Structure 1
Amino acid sequence: MTTENYLGALTGVRSGKRSFYPEYVRTAERLERAVGALDRISRALVRTGEGPRALVEAVVRAAAEHVQADWLLFAVADGALRAARPRFLLLTGGELVEDERLFPPDALAHLRILRSRPWEAGDPAESGVRVPMTLDCEPVGGIAARPAPGMDIADTDLAVLRVLANQAAVALHNSYLVHATMQLRGRTEALSEAAEQQARDLAARNAELQETQRRLIEVMQRQALDDERHRIARELHDSVTQDVLSAGMMIEICRAEMTEPGADLAALREKLTGAKDLTRHAVERLRAAIYALHHSESEPSGSLPVLLERLSTVHLPTDLTVSVSVHGEPVPLPGEAEHSLLRITGEALFNTVMHTNAARARIRLDYRADSIRLSIADDGDGDPAQLRRMLRLSSATDLAGAHRGLANMRARTEELGGTLSIRRSRIGGILLLLEIPLPLDTEAA
């Protein structure tokens, strides 16, 4: 290869006597424009963070300046880069136009081609130049321009336009990703803040609910004790009235017999002793009724063992001693379940006071791994076999109120999913044994 051929390959011009210098000048100008275009490309592409429109405007102005265009069109193909805005933009006379009705006819022809997909990059243009814009080797639009008169467009100029178009496609896609990420971040922060606020609201409502539930349980516990006290007070009122009337009649009989000649003083003394016992018994029952009526809302609530201790003091006649023992690790129970267990215990103690000659009663509460056992035993003269028979009869027929207490106790036990049995106690009287499975069904309770 000759020296001229080497020089032409390196500089893009041919050496010659008359043409060397003009071609050299044109090549130098193209090289200068190419370097300027690369600088404008870099300045245009770093505006990605400003949003898609600012990027498109910068690319359009850089491309138009490079080819000194009368007008320059940037267009995205239909169906491509769906988030890109604007979809097309024309620079003419220094103004940016988006309304295709204002486009020159030749620019409008280029727009129709650029928006079609796919289109061949080699399609001849009726006027001006046109280069494709590709992304992942797929046509996504392009740039078309009408250079100024006398402007010679070389392959290097088209290469610069292709670089601008392709980089614009990548930058548009990246700009969309940046803005989508920012929107997602803002949405995520808003959702996170809303979730935190909701969590705070739920925590506050949960605290309020727990406080309301605690107060409701306290009210139910007090109500259980109050119901038991008032029921016992009513029953004791009736029995006290009978004792007082019996003692009064006994005294009147003794007074009448004392006026008769030859009265049997020993018999009178025995009758008066009986009247004294009736009076003492009535006083003890009256004290129990008064205690039941005066110890109510002032007492704080407590756990089931504590409530059983208080319940044992309601039945206060001095001839009945009630003891409470608790075994195992206590577990919290629903308020309804504690209420039922208290009512069952109160009914059993009342029956002991009213229907037996017991001097002692024992309440035992056992917490086990899978159940709770509650037993009420006495040393009275009750008959377990007779009570079991009466309990069976109460299930089969209406006994006009007789032994309804036993039926109520069994019904409450079954509501808790447990069983009630009646046995002979080790201290000689009746043993009522309740066995409740754990964990309790709160809906049943």
Structure 2
Amino acid sequence: MPDLAALTGVRSGKQTYYNAYQRSNERLQRTVAAMDSISGALVHPVEGPRPLLEKIVRVASHHLDARWAVLALTAHALPSTRPRFLALDAVGVVLDDIAELPDDAREAIREVASGVLPVRATQNVVGAVVAPMLLDGHAIGALAVAPRGDLPLETPDLSALHILANLAAVSLHTGDLYRTGLAQQRRAHQLFDEVSEQARLLSVRNEELRAAEQRLRVADQRELIDSERRRIALELHDSVAQTVLTAGLVLEVVRGDLASGPPGGRDGQVLPELDRARDLMSTATEQLRSVIYALHHERTAEDVASLPELLAEVASQHRPHLAVRLRVEGSPVPLGTAAEHALARTAGEALFNVAMHAGARKALVRLRYLADGVVLRVSDDGNGEPAAMRRTVRLARRGTADGRHRGLVGMALRAEALGGTFSIRRSRAGGVAVESRIPLTSATTRGG
């Protein structure tokens, strides 16, 4: 019959075999207890990785009855993870301050930080067991344990430390991913809030732009209406108003003749003047019709004479009461219907002012064609004051003058509308000289 030793595989006759068996059994029980403890920590991930890491350090220290145990990261692994190591002293206190550790534990942490680690769990020259924490084949740290000097190490011990180190690596990596995810989630919420605020601001700016566009549209419409009103006012002032005022002067002369002349000699003097007033009123009516027609129809170049011819016609209208001379210098070039019409109106208004207000006997209309522009100058020998006339223009521009002085500012506006300038100076004959200077390119561009 087989004996007990053959059945159990233990030579009970030698006490050392039984002691080895008992020690292996204790190690096995301790390893199983360690794994059971670790599994209990693994099912509570909400608490974060630190409780699990502390339990791993405790299990490793208890398994080898260690003086200290350290779980540390290399210098470049998981840079956002804090703390960089956890240690357990001989009495079971968890430490994360390197100053509180013994010298050999601090040296072990520095070796791990350097990144020079074995590929498998092994015991170094000072007796500490170092098990690398591997992640994708790369060491991110190590579990270092300093066992009692009289405790022999066996292969299952190294395997247990290797398993604990890998559990620590997975836990640290998972914690790092969790923190990164939380940071990205916070950043995503922040970006969403910023984008929402930008969208709100853009919506507000869009509404402001729409309101501004509407205001600009209204302002443009008002500017067009005001410009058209000024144009109509200038047309009526420079044509119909002048003729009506001239007719009024004739009637005033006739009235004076009737009041002071002899009864018998009135008819021969009055009738021609009345005929002239009638003709002027008829002319005013035709001019009014012409202005109204022009406001509704575009005029072509064939409908208008050249600028020198227009000026000659304007000068002839004032010769019965004023000695008007016309001088044209340079080679005439076409300026365009609108530009030539504006200059002719300017000459007519200037001569009307001379006849009405200056008390002059002579006037000169001078038209000069230069290489880069056209200059129209109307001068007289009357008693006008250039300074007073310039002040009238300034007041009319600000809207503080009455409507009887719109002729001067109308001449200035016409010149400026053609890109030119308007000036009032003393003439060589002692009176006033008004001058419109128009750039040639601007006149042909805007005056067509």
- For residue 72 of structure 1, the aligned residue among 50, 69, 72 is 69
Q: Find the aligned partners of 2:76 and 2:31 in 1 and give their Cα distance.
A: 32
Q: What do residues 200-252 of structure 1 show as CA deviations (whole Å, max 9, x unaligned)?
A: 11221122123123213322331332244235435534545532332234435
For 2:370 and 2:194, how far apart are their aligned partners in 1? 60
Out of 107, 117, 124, the position equivalent to 2:105 is 107
Q: Which amino acid aligns with 1:215?
A: R
How far residue 22 of structure 1 moved from its aligned partner, in angstroms, is: 5.5
Stretches of structure 1 that go unaligned for 5 or more consecutive residues are: 8-12, 286-316, 323-351, 354-360, 363-375, 412-416, 423-431, 433-445
Equivalences for residues 146-295 of structure 1 within 5 A: 146-147=146-147, 153-230=153-230, 232-234=232-234, 236-237=236-237, 239-251=239-251, 256=257, 259-260=264-265, 263=268, 270-271=275-276, 273-277=278-282, 280=285
CA distance in 2, matches of 1:100, 1:76: 13
Question: Within the alignment, does 1:391 sit opposite 2:335 as a pair?
Answer: yes
Deviation at 1:28, TM superposition (A): 4.0
Partner of residue 377, structure 1: 299
For residues 206 and 23 of structure 1, the distance between their equivalents in structure 2, rounded to whole angstroms, comes to 86
TM-superposed CA distance for 1:140, in Å, is: 3.4
Deviation at 1:320, TM superposition (A): 4.9
Name structure 2 gaps, 5 residues minimum: 311-331, 337-368, 379-410, 421-441
What is the rounded CA distance, in whole Å, between the counterparts of 2:377 and 2:221 in structure 1? 26
Q: What CA distance in whole angstroms lies between the structure 2 residues aligned with 1:237 and 1:186? A: 74
**What do residues 157-185 of structure 1 show as CA deviations (whole Å, max 9, x unaligned)?**
22111111122123212221221122012
Change (3 A) 1:125 1:86: farther
| Deviation, structure 1 residue 199 | 1.9
Structure 1 equivalent of residue 145 of structure 2: 145
Change (3 A) 1:5 1:389: farther
State how many pairs are aligned.
329
Shift of 1:70: 3.7
d(CA) in 2 for partners of 1:50 and 1:223?
A: 73
TM normalised by structure 2 equals 0.59
Structure 1 counterpart of 2:97, which letter?
A: D
How far has the Cα of 1:47 moved from its partner?
5.5
Q: Which residue of 2 aligns with 1:56?
A: 53
CA displacement, residues 335-393 of structure 1 (integer Å, 9 cap, x when unaligned) = xxxxxxxxxxxxxxxxx57xxxxxxx43xxxxxxxxxxxxx336994137989934184
Distance change (3 Å), C-alpha of 1:159 and 1:405 = same
RMSD: 4.5
**3-state SS of paired residue (1:15):** coil
Quote the Cα distance in structure 1 between the aligned partners of 2:196 and 2:302.
64
SS in 1 for 2:207: helix
Distance in structure 2 (CA, Å) of the matches to 1:240 and 1:3? 149
Cα distance change, pair 147–259 in 1 and its aligned pair in 2 (3 A): farther
Provide the residue aligned with 1:85 in structure 2.
82
Change (3 A) 1:102 1:318: same
Distance 2:6 2:71 in 1: 39
SS in 2 for 1:72: strand
Q: Is the 8 A contact 1:55 1:172 kept in 2?
A: no
1:410–1:420 contact (8 Å) kept in structure 2 = no
Query: Aligned partner of 1:86: which letter?
Result: P
The percent of aligned pairs where both chains have the same amino acid is: 31
Deviation of the 1:188 alpha carbon = 1.9
SS of 2:218's equivalent in the other structure is helix
Amino acid at match of 1:88: F
